[in-house]
DNA sequence: TTGAAAGCGCTACCAC
DNA sequence: GTGGTAGCGCTTTCAA
């Protein structure tokens, strides 16, 4: 029945005042050794568990961090989430994760709930075009760190990966392999990540003096979409030798489609992705991709957030850009030179 | 600055009492329409956000559910977690997820933190041999629902899958395919799931009058372990025609090993798993496995938990056993008859 | 080194 | 219909 045991019961049992019990629980202030012992015994005897709700109310801090992200069951996010969780846990905070399915209404309600719960800070992975206003709303109340997808016009700590460069280098590698007729399957273009990856791809073609105009298809990061766009690409008979996808899931979908159609990967069409989710190395052929340090992104963002929470909110926002890494595997032929 | 706006400020601004404001916020009791309007205007004007910490303290309920599970970044759990989250969210609750890496010490600290945070209930996926005492400790304070892995001696709601039967039917299918020399790679045997899967496998062999003693290897559900045990199996030269793994991750590891050694799957060795994680259908050859309804397990457990929270804790614990589904794919030859 | 008491913001009971 | 007020369990001055 330790559930309803309060600090008051402990005080009574130990024959001291509430204040003194509070002191030993929090290790704050001086307490005579013998008193401390008595209190600790009482705590054990009663099975006392401090009520953090009461503590939060009185201290004005919950030691809870909220994370708003598209979908924990989507391969890229669990690793990111684990990075966040490990970072906050090790500093004595607890994490609440909200799934939004990249839908504004769910983002809206997540922000509202987290704010009502008085979380000490929020980590935000924007999913919808209207996310910016929600990030702003949240950041008016508590420190906010934005991960992965940049949000314009709202000053807060940001951790991203250099999507432009990752895409650029991947493309250079593909050109070195001799590909000229390429198709690109993009993500939702309202996301900064999608835009930058596409921009990096285009820039590299341009810089390399490739005149063949790439065929750009509009996707949504989903496996099924990769599959169906790949079929569309074949149907159009464009003579494509390489399909560049804005993420791994679509790439794997595309690869699967080609295989189902009896088209060899990479012998007839090369395919590559972006993210380097676990699956990328496990599918056959293994997927050439651009690796994002998901765990580190989460951990880093959480650390920046906690620092801001504990050291004050006034410093100007910092922005960290991590470097992605080109991972060459079998889906692009295995040959070629890493430029 | 809505952060520090309290119900008191709203009351003052609207020219009414705190009680009345509380009534309109909670939609409880009678309030004159014009009064309600005044209050709602004041709330909007001040950007008031109700403080759930204070509400929790006063109501004795936080509307927070805790989930304790091994590792959110491991393929099986995100789906399960999403099931839990959707179920609790739709009922107005918020979810806190704690990762334990199947380590007792982390389970212990998770239980302590959740109890201190005064969550209204806990969903527990046991990971270590000592989990039972923690489940008990938690269940002394709040309702607990156990998922996936049974915990003995602690009466609480439980959602599992019929692991014995899933394994049994898988094995029957393999026997029908003609396999006689089989190896089994188990999970940690302190987990009920591992035990039952192995038991189902053995029982089927026995019931079918197969005399060839299967070779049982002790694994830990990890990809790398599947890989190295597979290598060991080959090294031993046992003439195995089929490797049955206690989960998909080990199966994919084993498959990968065989492929690296130039051993054809399924032409020379068949491989199968358990779980049906997303990857299972995406690897080549696609993996024959036993599908667990992870999302439903999570959602169902959460619903049972919420019902117990809201309808009282005295009813005797219920136990739901979901049926797994045999999914025949290419890694076992594609042929054969689903018995 | 210890105790008393005023909050923290809200709910809910009791009056009016 | 509406207001007053006693808690909820803890932290944190301020005194002693």
At A39-86, the pLDDT tens digits run 999 999 999 999 999 999 999 999 999 999 999 999 999 999 999 999
**Domain for residue A59, yes or no?**
no
Residue with tokens 């766009």: A229
DSSP 8-state secondary structure symbol assigned to residue A51: -
Q: Tell me: do A299 and A153 sit in the same domain.
A: yes
pLDDT of residue A149: 85
Rounded Cα distance, A52 and A19, in Å: 16
Complete DSSP assignment for B240-299: -SEEEESSHHHHHHHHHHHHHTT--TTTT-EEE-SB--HHHHHSSSPPBEEE--HHHHHH
Q: Tell me: do B167 and B288 sit in the same domain.
A: yes
**Domain for residue A104, yes or no?**
yes
CB-CB under 8 Å, A72 with B259: no
Cis peptide before A266 (omega within 30 of 0): yes
Q: Tell me: do B281 and B308 sit in the same domain.
A: no
Residues of chain B (152-191) having a beta carbon less than 7 angstroms from strand C: none
Q: Tell me: do B83 and B112 sit in the same domain.
A: yes
CB-CB under 8 Å, A85 with B99: yes
Provide the number of structural domains found in chain B.
Answer: 3
Question: Given A95, A118, A279, which is nearest B53 (Cβ)?
Answer: A118
**H helices of chain B, where?**
7-14, 18-26, 33-46, 52-59, 76-89, 104-116, 131-141, 163-176, 192-207, 223-236, 248-260, 278-282, 294-311
**Domain for residue A150, yes or no?**
yes
Strand C closer than 7 Å to the CB of B26? yes
Residue nearest D9 (alpha carbon to C1'): A54
CB-CB under 8 Å, A72 with B85: yes
Residue with tokens 């940690």: B188
Residue with tokens 């509430």: A18
CB A81 within 8 A of CB A97: yes
Q: Tell me: do A173 and A285 sit in the same domain.
A: yes
CB B170 within 8 A of CB B199: no
Q: Tell me: do B190 and B271 sit in the same domain.
A: yes
Q: Tell me: do B157 and B239 sit in the same domain.
A: no
User: Cα distance from A171 to chain B (closest Cα, Å)?
Assistant: 25
Question: Which domain CATH number covers A197?
Answer: 3.40.50.2300
**Domain for residue A156, yes or no?**
yes
Complete DSSP assignment for A208-244: TT--SPPEEEE--S-HHHHHHHHHHHHHHT---SEEE
Rounded Cα distance, B160 and B148, in Å: 5
DSSP 8-state secondary structure symbol assigned to residue B113: H
Its domain, for residue A129, covers: 64-161+294-322
A112 touching B (Cβ < 8 Å): yes
Q: Tell me: do B184 and B285 sit in the same domain.
A: yes
pLDDT of residue A3: 65
Nucleotide nearest A36, CA–C1', reads: C1
**Domain for residue A20, yes or no?**
yes
Percentage with pLDDT > 70 across chain B: 97
Rounded Cα distance, B14 and B2, in Å: 16
CB B71 within 8 A of CB B222: no
Element (H, E) at A76: helix A76-89
Contacts 24+ apart (CB under 8 A), B102-109: B102/B70, B102/B71, B102/B127, B102/B128, B102/B188, B103/B127, B103/B128, B104/B128, B104/B129, B104/B130, B104/B131, B104/B134, B107/B68, B107/B131, B107/B134, B108/B134
User: Quick one: A19 exposed, middle or buried, by C-beta within 10 A (0-12, 13-18, 19+)?
Assistant: exposed
Rounded Cα distance, B23 and B39, in Å: 10
Exposure string over A21-47, b if 16+ CB within 10 A, otherwise e: bbbbbeeeeebeeebbebbeebbeebe
A279 touching B (Cβ < 8 Å): yes
Q: What is the pLDDT of residues B295-320, one digit of tens each?
A: 999 999 999 999 999 987 778 999 99
Q: Tell me: do A268 and A219 sit in the same domain.
A: yes
pLDDT of residue A312: 76
Q: Tell me: do A257 and A173 sit in the same domain.
A: yes
Residue with tokens 């100007």: A316
Q: What is the mean pLDDT of residues A301-324?
A: 92
Rounded Cα distance, B328 and B335, in Å: 9
Candidates B293, B294, B303, B296; CA nearest to B143 is B303
**Domain for residue A56, yes or no?**
no
**Domain for residue B237, yes or no?**
yes
Model pTM? 0.95
Residue with tokens 């938990």: B305
Rounded Cα distance, B145 and B158, in Å: 6
B75 touching A (Cβ < 8 Å): yes
Q: Tell me: do A150 and A187 sit in the same domain.
A: no
Q: What is the pLDDT of residues A5-15, one digit of tens each?
A: 999 999 999 99
Residue B327 has pLDDT above 70, yes or no: yes
Q: What is the mean pLDDT of residues B80-84?
A: 98
Candidates B152, B333, B161; CA nearest to B246 is B161
Q: Tell me: do B137 and B168 sit in the same domain.
A: no
Question: Which domain CATH number covers B24?
Answer: 1.10.260.40
Q: What is the pLDDT of residues B253-288, one digit of tens each?
A: 999 999 999 999 999 999 999 999 999 999 989 999
Residue A151 has pLDDT above 90, yes or no: no
**Domain for residue B40, yes or no?**
yes
Q: What is the pLDDT of residues B120-169, one digit of tens each?
A: 999 999 999 899 999 999 999 999 999 988 888 889 999 999 999 999 99
CB A79 within 8 A of CB A87: no
pLDDT of residue B334: 60
CB-CB under 8 Å, B115 with A97: no
């Amino acid at each position: 029945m330790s559930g309803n045991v309060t600090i008051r019961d402990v005080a009574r049992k130990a024959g001291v005042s509430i204040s003194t019990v509070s002191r030993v629980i929090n290790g704050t202030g001086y307490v005579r050794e013998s008193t401390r012992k008595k209190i600790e015994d009482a705590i054990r005897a009663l099975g006392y568990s401090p009520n953090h709700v009461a503590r939060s109310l009185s201290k004005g801090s919950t030691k809870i961090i909220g994370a708003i992200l598209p979908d924990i069951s989507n391969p890229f996010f669990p690793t990111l989430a684990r990075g966040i969780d490990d970072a906050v846990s090790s500093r004595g905070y607890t994490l609440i994760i909200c799934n939004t399915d990249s839908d504004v209404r769910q983002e809206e309600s997540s922000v509202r709930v987290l704010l009502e719960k008085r979380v000490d800070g929020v980590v935000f992975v924007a999913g919808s075009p209207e996310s910016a206003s929600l990030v702003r709303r949240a950041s008016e109340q508590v420190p906010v760190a934005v991960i992965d997808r940049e949000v314009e016009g709202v000053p807060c700590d940001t951790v991203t990966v250099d999507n432009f460069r990752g895409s650029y280098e991947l493309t250079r590698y593909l050109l070195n392999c001799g590909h000229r007729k390429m198709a690109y399957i993009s993500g939702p273009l309202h996301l900064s990540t999608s835009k930058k990856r596409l921009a990096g791809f285009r820039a590299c073609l341009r810089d390399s003096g490739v005149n063949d105009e790439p065929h750009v298809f509009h996707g949504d990061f989903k496996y099924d979409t990769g599959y169906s766009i790949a079929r569309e690409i074949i149907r159009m008979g464009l003579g494509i030798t390489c399909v560049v996808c804005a993420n791994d899931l679509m790439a794997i979908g595309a690869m699967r489609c080609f295989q189902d159609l009896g088209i060899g990967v990479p012998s007839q069409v090369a395919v590559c992705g972006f993210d380097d989710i676990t699956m990328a190395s496990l599918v056959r052929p293994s997927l050439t991709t651009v690796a994002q340090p998901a765990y580190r992104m989460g951990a880093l963002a959480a650390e920046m957030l906690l620092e801001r929470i504990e050291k004050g909110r006034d410093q100007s926002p910092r922005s960290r850009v991590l470097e992605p890494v080109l991972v060459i595997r079998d889906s692009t032929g295995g040959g070629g030179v890493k430029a």
